[in-house]
């Protein structure tokens, strides 16, 4: 990795209406970097919050020289918030954590970075103790991802760390943050995963919407087309047509 960058590690924290969590989140993140001897910065992206998230972060930045805060005028979604963080990150390694404290920076930052030190390009956190009611949907997504892309990871839509070159030039559409590992694997980057605790949310509400479930399925197909069939579109649509024809025969046979 380059020695010319100001920091080794950039921790990106996208936040939307997380005001009660901000002080503890930033304190834990700062302690994690210091305790592990990591030369790092913290980037918090306030994604158009309507509470005091942005103000709390700005106040913390007055006494935390390695904290930078960026504000979206309106809520643009997690993918765009992450992209803002990635664009401003100055570290060789980028760590993405949740701002709702379901992940613990003091536990997870050293775990994720250690996987990169072992040779991985992307390190995925594998949630342990998850109890948010979306386990079945998550398992379906990951099964489809393994089927379509051959990735054996158990959890691709949570916290992660990666070398900055992984996301340099990566174009993410809305909600495609969950497929960073898929896109990275398609480019030949090495993927690792490490078990991490998933804690109950302390404050605030989940930002997950049910409308994303069906959209996520079509996103997987779009990414498969982009990574495997962009030069052979007829093969993709022909295969998809045969699959849909087969499904229609099954439905007709049991109708």
In the chain, domain spans: 7-208
What is the spatial distance between Cα 90 and Cα 85, in angstroms, rounded to a whole number? 10
DSSP state of 169: T
Q: What is the pLDDT of residue 241?
A: 61
Q: If the chain, 255 residues long, is cut into consecutive pieces of 10 residues, what is the mean pLDDT of each piece?
A: 72 98 98 97 98 98 97 97 97 97 98 98 94 70 79 90 94 85 91 96 64 68 69 52 57 52
- The predicted structure's pLDDT at residue 29: 98
Question: Which are the contacts of 111, defined by CB distance < 8 A and separation ≥ 6?
Answer: 123, 125, 194, 196
pTM given for the model: 0.81
pLDDT recorded at residue 70: 99
The pLDDT value recorded for residue 250 is 55
How far apart are alpha carbons 239 and 242 in whole angstroms?
A: 5
**CA distance linking residue 3 with residue 21, whole number of Å:** 34
Does the structural domain 7-208 have CATH classification 3.90.550.10?
Answer: yes
Tell me, what's the pLDDT at 77?
Answer: 95
Bridge-based pairing state of the strands 122-128 and 191-197: parallel
Please give the Cα distance from 240 to 53 (Å, whole number).
Answer: 45
Q: What is the pLDDT of residues 93-123, one digit of tens each?
A: 999 999 999 999 999 999 999 999 999 999 9
Q: How many CA atoms lie within 13 A of 99 on its CB side?
A: 31
Q: Which of 73, 20, 28 is nearest to 203 (CA)?
A: 20
pLDDT at 190: 96
* Closest C-alpha among 194, 123, 126 to residue 163: 123
pLDDT for res 82: 97
How confident is the model at residue 1, as a pLDDT?
A: 44
């Amino acid at each position: 990795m380059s020695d010319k960058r100001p920091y080794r590690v950039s921790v990106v924290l996208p936040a939307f209406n997380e005001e009660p969590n901000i002080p503890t989140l930033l304190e834990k993140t700062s302690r994690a970097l210091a305790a592990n001897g990591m030369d790092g910065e913290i980037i918090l992206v306030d994604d158009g919050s309507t509470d005091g998230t942005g103000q709390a972060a700005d106040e913390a930045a007055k006494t935390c020289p390695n904290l930078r805060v960026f504000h979206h005028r309106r809520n643009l979604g997690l993918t765009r918030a992450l992209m803002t963080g990635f664009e401003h990150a100055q570290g060789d390694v980028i760590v993405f954590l949740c701002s709702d404290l379901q992940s613990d920076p003091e536990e997870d930052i050293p775990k994720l970075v250690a996987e990169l030190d072992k040779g991985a390009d992307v390190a995925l956190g594998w949630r342990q103790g998850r109890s948010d009611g979306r386990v079945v949907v998550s398992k379906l997504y990951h099964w489809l991802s393994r089927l379509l892309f051959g990735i054996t990871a158990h959890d691709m839509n949570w916290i992660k760390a990666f070398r900055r070159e992984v996301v340099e030039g990566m174009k993410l559409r809305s909600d495609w943050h969950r497929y960073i590992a898929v896109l990275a694997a398609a480019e030949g980057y090495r993927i690792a995963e490490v078990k991490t605790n998933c804690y109950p949310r302390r404050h605030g509400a989940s930002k997950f919407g049910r409308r994303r479930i069906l959209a996520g399925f079509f996103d997987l197909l779009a990414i498969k087309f982009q990574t495997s069939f962009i030069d052979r579109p007829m093969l993709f649509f022909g295969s998809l047509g045969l699959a849909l024809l087969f499904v229609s025969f099954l439905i007709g046979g049991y109708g």
